[in-house]
Amino acid sequence: MSAREEILGRIRQAVRDAPEVGIPRGYRTAARVDDLVGLFAERVDDYRAIVHVLPSAEVPAKIAELVRGRRMVVPDGLPEEWAGEAERAGGSLADLDAAGGVVTGCAVAIAETGTIVLDAGPGQGTRAQTLVPDYHLCVVRADQIVAGVPEAVARLDPARPLTWISGPSATSDIELNRVEGVHGPRTLEVIVST
Amino acid sequence: MSGTFLGMPGNFPKNAEKAVQDSQLRFNLRKATHTIRGKRASVVDELPDWQELRAAGKAIKDETLRHLDRYLVQLEDAVTGAGGHVHWARDAAEANRIVTGLVKATGESEVVKVKSMATQEIGLNEALAEHGITAYETDLAELIVQLGDDFPSHILVPAIHRNRAEIREIFLDKMAETPEGLTDEPAALAEAARLHLRERFLRSKVAISGANFMVAETGTLVVLESEGNGRMCLTLPETLISVVGIEKLLPSWRDLEVFLQLLPRSSTGERMNPYTSMWTGATEGQDFHLVLLDNGRTDVLADEVGRQALRCIRCSACLNVCPVYERAGGHAYGSVYPGPIGAILTPQLRGMGSELDASLPYASSLCGACYDVCPVAIDIPEVLVDLRAKAPHGRAERAGMRVAGWVLGNEVRLAKAQRLATRFRKLVPRRLPGPLSAWTDTRDLPEIPEESFRDWWERHERP
């Protein structure tokens, strides 16, 4: 008998008398948050990421200021006004490693947890592009922010590769205290465009 | 190379006795577990619906287990449909054989690894080494354990028994290159790990991971992490092999809305861990293999009381609150699964054939703190008591219990026994002789009262 058949057979034998289960979903699926932008900014800041909240018209100038002098990775599909006049990095792994940062948009953001989700869609780059450079500048449009985790899960497409980002790379492995900066981007800067 | 726990001699009390005499270890553990307890409590209190999430988490896992066969087949279809390959492994040896074969087929002799309990459980690194394949752990704590030729002692933070000064010593001693003037500041130690692994990440062709969750409906795998080593391993190599226990399944995509709230808050005490990766099948041109591991899980599933242990999402909240773990440390449990969850999981996965495994159900004071914090409401004390009944007991103990049952099961016999004990109370020694001295070595024998409560009641209530 194949391992597959044997394991499935053992499972059927093991649970044949187990009771059926109902799933109570009494938790919040649509949290009420009065100030989504404010809460999101506060929670991102808690992770020691840098946050700016700006009217959309001021975003391009802010990006230009932040990326000046850096060779930036600019993913396909990023709005031209966000790409700025930064010097563009190449596409090889070595280029990414040598780049001064990456600038992206996002798919959705979560206020309660201060989380940004990338789904590799237009302007979000491949997973490697947002991982290898040491600096990640992410622009979040105010209408992309949802209150809680359930709202975000409902908006996302599981067929796409998803990366949930909550603050810069960190570790709790030394005496169980959070320390920023291991293998992922050590600086996360977020612009919320209102 | 870190060691394997399989076939470890001794038993829990003996191991724990050694550990509690190590004052440095006790200091490190106390500091770390108390830090994390405070953090967990504050982010859990923040959510008004924590108990509802917990109830949903428990039920979703129970539903998964009830129809595990159906959900596994659904998962297999979804992963295969998205270009991945699915393999099934009855036990550790079969899983190791499959993974070794897959790595050999790539022609590579080095692999990078994301921290995974399942691959530790099956001793994968050692199995790969036998075939000339070197596995590099990339999680900071795993790296500390691997460089220090040590054993993991915690589910989430395998090097929890090491403090910053000890970690610095290990790095200076075992890393080929460390930054000049390396201090024991956590940020400096993290920087050293970054430099040590950077090149390896960029050139590795094969990675091995586990997964926190697999979604049957969509075939999606989910890995939660902090450092970015997970993203490096999951994203950059051409071949990705994930070894995952069959119980790690969730029925539907929507179920993640529950577990992505329960797990980070319970484990690192954060609103959300820094990075979570989700992928479905072969992604961005990668070759993807999923190895589904049984290795004793179907035996656990067959046990009506014990099967709830398979709800575990490996958050380690139970370790962090356990008074026994805090003092004995993780090594005493002789398994990759230490602490309260280990005390119920290990004897079920491995059986209670060895002295060590048979002693684990007793590695608890049954205080119940583990049950209170468990995000999927595993009643660990209930399973411990059930396992104690199933553990092998010596002939003298069984005879003693039979006599006790005979006396305590009948009120006339009990009253007679109490009067007899009262009459001879002066003759009872302060310390018991022979094997019974093990009890009185560390405890006072309770004094036998002059009169039993039953007799006192009789005297006062009768007119």
For residue A192, the cross-strand partners are A53, A140
Helix/strand/coil for A116? strand
**Phi and psi at residue B136, in whole multiples of 5°?**
-105, 115
Q: Which residue of A has its CA nearest to B304?
A: A18
HEC string of B364-410 equals CCCCCHHHHHCCCCCCHHHHHHHHHHHCCCCHHHHHHHHHHHHHHCC
Residue B105 pLDDT exceeds 70: yes
Q: Pick the most confident of A144-153, B25-34, B183-192, B348-357.
A: A144-153
> How far is the alpha carbon of B198 from chain A, nearest alpha carbon, in Å?
8
b/e map A177-191, b = 16+ CB within 10 Å: bbbbbbbbbbbbbbb
- Any idea which of A87-96, B7-16, B133-142 has the lowest mean pLDDT? B7-16
- Do the Cβ atoms of A125 and A158 come closer than 8 Å? no
Among residues B298, B331, B350, which one ends one of the domains? B298
Residue B6 pLDDT exceeds 70: no
Is the ipTM above a cut-off of 0.90?
yes
**pLDDT at residue B463, rounded to an integer:** 64
CA–CA gap between residue A186 and residue A169 (Å, rounded): 6
Across the interface, whether the CB atoms of B88 and A2 are under 8 A apart is answered: yes
CB-based contact (8 Å) between A112 and chain B? Answer: yes
Helix/strand/coil for A12? helix
Q: Which residue of A has its CA nearest to B215?
A: A158
Sheet of A50-54, strand order: A50-54, A187-193, A135-141, A101-104, A71-73, A87-88
Q: What residues of chain A lie within 8 A of the CB of B257, using their CB?
A: 29, 149-150, 153-154
Per-residue pLDDT of B170-214, as tens digits, reads: 999 999 888 888 999 988 999 998 999 998 999 999 999 999 999
**pLDDT at residue A71, rounded to an integer:** 93
- Do the Cβ atoms of B96 and B411 come closer than 8 Å? no
- Do the Cβ atoms of A101 and A87 come closer than 8 Å? no
State which H helix or E strand residue B241 sits in: strand B239-245
Residue B132 pLDDT exceeds 60: yes
Those residues whose C-beta lies under 8 Å from the C-beta of residue B249, and which sit 6 or more positions away, are B64, B68, B71, B72, B75, B213, B214, B215, B216
* Residue B150 belongs to some domain of the structure: yes
**pLDDT at residue A172, rounded to an integer:** 82
* Residue B187 belongs to some domain of the structure: yes
CATH superfamily of A29-193: NagB/RpiA/CoA transferase-like (3.40.50.10420)
* Residue B246 belongs to some domain of the structure: yes
Per-residue pLDDT of B140-157, as tens digits, reads: 998 999 999 988 889 988
Per-residue pLDDT of B305-334, as tens digits, reads: 999 999 999 999 999 999 999 999 999 999
Query: In chain B, what is the straight-line distance between the N-terminal and C-terminal CA atoms, in Å?
Result: 78
Per-residue pLDDT of A44-83, as tens digits, reads: 999 999 999 999 999 999 999 999 999 999 999 999 999 8
Return the structure tokens found at B254: 């929507």
- CB contacts under 8 A, B 378-437 vs A, are none
Q: Are residues B289 and B417 in the same domain?
A: no
CA–CA gap between residue B185 and residue B164 (Å, rounded): 7
DSSP string over B153-193? -SSS-TTTT--HHHHHHHHHHH-S---TT--S-HHHHHHHH
* Residue B311 belongs to some domain of the structure: no
State which H helix or E strand residue B288 sits in: strand B287-293
Among the partner-chain residues B65, B69, B231, the one whose CB lies closest to the CB of A127 is B231
Which amino acid appears at position B216 of this protein? A
We report the CATH number of the domain holding residue B222 as 3.40.50.10420
Among residues B235, B266, B298, which one ends one of the domains? B298
Give the structural domain span for B426: 395-461
Return the structure tokens found at B34: 């108390």
* Residue B350 belongs to some domain of the structure: no
CA–CA gap between residue B55 and residue A23 (Å, rounded): 8
Return the structure tokens found at B97: 């054989």
What average pLDDT does the structure give for chain B? Answer: 93
Strand A71-73 to B206-209 pairing: unpaired
- CB contacts under 8 A, A 155-194 vs B, are 158-159, 161-185
Overall number of domains in chain B: 2
Which amino acid appears at position B77 of this protein? D
Residue B4 pLDDT exceeds 70: no
Return the structure tokens found at A128: 């490697």
CA–CA gap between residue B362 and residue B384 (Å, rounded): 7
b/e map B107-129, b = 16+ CB within 10 Å: ebeebbbbbbbbbbbbbbbebbe
- CB contacts under 8 A, B 108-127 vs A, are none
CA–CA gap between residue A103 and residue B401 (Å, rounded): 71
Question: pLDDT exceeding 90 applies to what percent of chain B?
Answer: 75
Per-residue pLDDT of B38-97, as tens digits, reads: 999 999 999 999 999 999 999 999 999 999 999 999 999 999 999 999 999 999 999 999
Among residues B298, B319, B350, which one ends one of the domains? B298
Strand B275-280 to B220-225 pairing: antiparallel
> How far is the alpha carbon of A56 from chain B, nearest alpha carbon, in Å?
27
> How far is the alpha carbon of A77 from chain B, nearest alpha carbon, in Å?
17
CB-based contact (8 Å) between A10 and chain B? Answer: yes
Among the partner-chain residues A128, A177, A184, the one whose CB lies closest to the CB of B236 is A128
- Do the Cβ atoms of B243 and B116 come closer than 8 Å? yes
Q: B353 or A8: whose pLDDT is higher? A: A8
Q: Are residues B95 and B220 in the same domain?
A: yes
For residue B136, the cross-strand partners are B112
* Residue B341 belongs to some domain of the structure: no
> How far is the alpha carbon of A79 from chain B, nearest alpha carbon, in Å?
23
Per-residue pLDDT of B358-405, as tens digits, reads: 999 999 999 999 999 999 999 999 999 999 999 988 898 899 999 999
The mean per-residue pLDDT over the stretch B8-21 comes to 87
* Residue B181 belongs to some domain of the structure: yes
Q: How confident is the model at residue B2 (pLDDT cuts 50, 70, 90)?
A: very low
Which amino acid appears at position B434 of this protein? G
**pLDDT at residue B1, rounded to an integer:** 37
> How far is the alpha carbon of B153 from chain A, nearest alpha carbon, in Å?
12
Per-residue pLDDT of B266-292, as tens digits, reads: 999 999 999 999 999 999 999 999 999
Return the structure tokens found at B86: 């699915």
* Every domain of chain A and the residues it spans: 29-193
Q: Which of A131, A173, A178 to mutate to test the interface with B (most CBs of B within 10 A)?
A: A173
**pLDDT at residue A178, rounded to an integer:** 79
- CB contacts under 8 A, B 140-199 vs A, are 140-141, 144, 156-157, 159-160, 163-164, 167, 186-187, 189-191, 193-194, 197-198
> How far is the alpha carbon of B327 from chain A, nearest alpha carbon, in Å?
16
**pLDDT at residue A163, rounded to an integer:** 98
Return the structure tokens found at B358: 């048979």
Return the structure tokens found at B189: 């130690």
CA–CA gap between residue B64 and residue B311 (Å, rounded): 9
Across the interface, whether the CB atoms of A169 and B141 are under 8 A apart is answered: no
Return the structure tokens found at B320: 């962090």
**pLDDT at residue B442, rounded to an integer:** 83
**pLDDT at residue A180, rounded to an integer:** 85
CB-based contact (8 Å) between A33 and chain B? Answer: no
Which amino acid appears at position B302 of this protein? A
**pLDDT at residue B259, rounded to an integer:** 98
